[in-house]
Structures are given as C-alpha cells and as structure tokens.
Amino acid sequence: MNEQEHGRKIGDVILKVENISLRFGGVKALTDISFDVREHEIRAIIGPNGAGKSSMLNVLNGVYTPQEGVITYRGQQRKDMNTHEAAESGIARTFQNIALFSGMTVLDNIMTGRNLKIRSSFVEQAFWFGRARREEIENRAKVEEIIDFLQLQSVRKTPVARLPYGIKKRVELARALAAEPSMLLLDEPMAGMNVEEKQDMCRFVIDTNDQFGTTIVLIEHDMGVVMDISDRVVVLDYGKKIGDGTPNEVRNDPEVIKAYLGAH
C-alpha cells in the first residue's frame, strides 16, 4: 500500500552520488559509493555499526569533503561544498546525538531554522523596527505552522534542556523543517525511542513527505521502520555499498543477509 502511494508522486533523480570515497588518514570510511535519490521519495541508508552511514550523510551536507567522487544536486555538480551552501540549497538535517541549542526555548530553537530567510541586519534588529520586526513576525507565523504540525504547542516556551528525549528529537525535526528544505537528512530519528515515540516519529516523517513533498534520506537501525516507510534502501557495510533497491529486494539480498547476520 505504502509503496504504491509514494510511487505515484515520486519524480526524477534530484541527488546523484557518484564514486564517493572518503578517508580519514589511513581509515577508509567510504569506498566508491554511488546511488541516487529521486524527488519526493523516502530513501533509507542502512548498515551495521561503523558502516559509514553517518559519514555518508555528512558528505551529503558538506560537513566532510570526500577525496574522490562527485555529488550532483538539482543539476549542479559539486566536489567540495560547505555546510552553509548545503543549507542555502535547501538541504536540512537532524543529528544522531541531539544537537539542539540547549540554552534556548523550543520556539527560539525552531526560529533558528528560519535564519536564512532573514535579510535584516543586526542594527535593524537592535532597533526592532520596520523590516526586522516584520520579518520576525512573518517567520514566527511560519514556525507556528510547524509547531502545529508536530504538535509541540504545549512546550513552545520551554527551554529544550528540560524536555524528554522523544520531544527533543521532534524539536530537532521541527528546526530542520523550519527551513522549508527540499531535502531532509535524518540521522537515526528513532534511535533510543520507545515503541510509541517511534510510531509518532514515523507518522511525522511520512506526513512531512506527504504534505510538504520533502525528499527524505534517513539512516535507521530499526528494520521494521525502514521496511515500512522507505521507498528504496541503500545498504552499506565497511564503507562499501552492498545493496540497493526496494525494501523487498534488499531484504532478500544474500549479501545483505550475510552482513547483518555476520556469517562470513
């Protein structure tokens, strides 16, 4: 059911990763990885611990620069892109270990996601006048839509440090969504959650994809979740790609089974 529903709206390839290799000194984190992501799809990256999944995500949004390979995003080819350019081109992400701004409220955290939309200078903001004030109000309205969408109304003005883990993950998603990204990178959005929180999070991920048409690339360890929500799956092991295809294809791939069961 799921696959069909997504299948209808999935568009052309918007992100193409070709022959990416990433090394840290002598350690090969990624070796010759190629895959693509189509518009509006949910693309999962799975693999055992240390397979290079997070490194892959870090390459996609410019935290790491790969030694070899090319990334083409929306027709633009990039070798070394920095994180700021990635953000400007519409790539947002969440982190494996929550990377919220702990001293700020939920509202302020989500407002930071809108920073690229703000044009006024700090002097205008100091005087809280004209454009600065108008922008603040407009962006607040947008942020409130996201707060509604992710059901964070009750904690709007709570400092994030006081929130439980599951809500923090949701705030992080909200902050990423506030940028109105065309592509969203989620690094283990359900890690460490109980069943109920996982279900909520799955629903939010699917809703984001449905309502905003956001392309999603996610890393997840929970196979049930991955098989349920993703359209296509890339499997990494020891920095190499060992499988790529629909959840069903991947599930029955002997290479993948070997990597996961550890039988060599």
Partner 1 sequence: MIYREAGQFKTTYLNDSQIFPIAQDRYAVAALLIVAFIAIPLFASQYFFSAILIPFLIFSLAALGLNILTGYAGQISLGTAAFMAVGAFASYNFMLRVPGMPILVAFILGGICAAMVGILFGLPSLRIRGFYLAASTLATQFFVVWCLTKVPWFTNYSSSGVITAQQINILGIPFDTPGEKYVLVLIIVSVMALLAKNMVRSNVGRSWMAVRDMDVAAEVIGFRIVRTKLIAFAVSSFYCGIAGALFAFCYLGTVEPEAYNLDLSFRILFMVIIGGLGSILGSFLGAGFIVLLPTVLSVIVHYTGLPNSVTSNLELMVFGALIIFFLIVEPHGLARLWQIAKEKLRLWPFPH
Helix %, strand %, coil % for the chain, to 5?
45, 25, 30
Can you tell me which of 33, 44, 45, 111 binds partner 1, judged by CB under 8 A? 111
Report how far Cα 143 is from the mean position of its chain's Cα atoms: 18
CA-nearest of 155, 143, 157, 148 to 207 is: 148
* Residue 33 DSSP code: E
* Residue 231 DSSP code: S
The answer to whether 183 and 14 are in contact (CB under 8 A) is yes
Number of residues that bind partner 1 (CB under 8 A): 39
The residues with which 36 forms a beta bridge, in sequence order, are 16
Can you tell me which of 144, 197, 222, 253 binds partner 1, judged by CB under 8 A? 144
Min dist. Cβ of residue 170 to partner 1 (A): 16
Min dist. Cβ of residue 22 to partner 1 (A): 18
- Hey, how many other C-beta atoms are within 10 angstroms of the C-beta on 197? 17
Name which of 189 and 243 has its Cβ closer to partner 1. 189
Helices (H) and strands (E) in the chain, counts: 11, 10
Distance separating alpha carbons of residues 112 and 175, to the nearest angstrom: 7
Alpha helices in 10-121 (DSSP H): 53-60, 83-88, 106-112
Name which of 113 and 247 has its Cβ closer to partner 1. 113
Name which of 141 and 263 has its Cβ closer to partner 1. 141
**x-marked contacts with partner 1 along 10-49 as a string, rule CB under 8 A:** ----------------------------------------
Min dist. Cβ of residue 58 to partner 1 (A): 10
Residue 147 binds to partner 1 (criterion: CB under 8 A) = no
175-234: contacts with partner 1 (CB under 8 A): 175, 179
64-103: contacts with partner 1 (CB under 8 A): 83-84, 86-88, 92-93, 95, 99-103
- For partner 1, the binding residues (CB under 8 A) are 61, 63, 83-84, 86-88, 92-93, 95, 99-104, 108, 111-113, 115-116, 118, 120, 122, 125-128, 132-133, 135-137, 140-141, 144, 175, 179
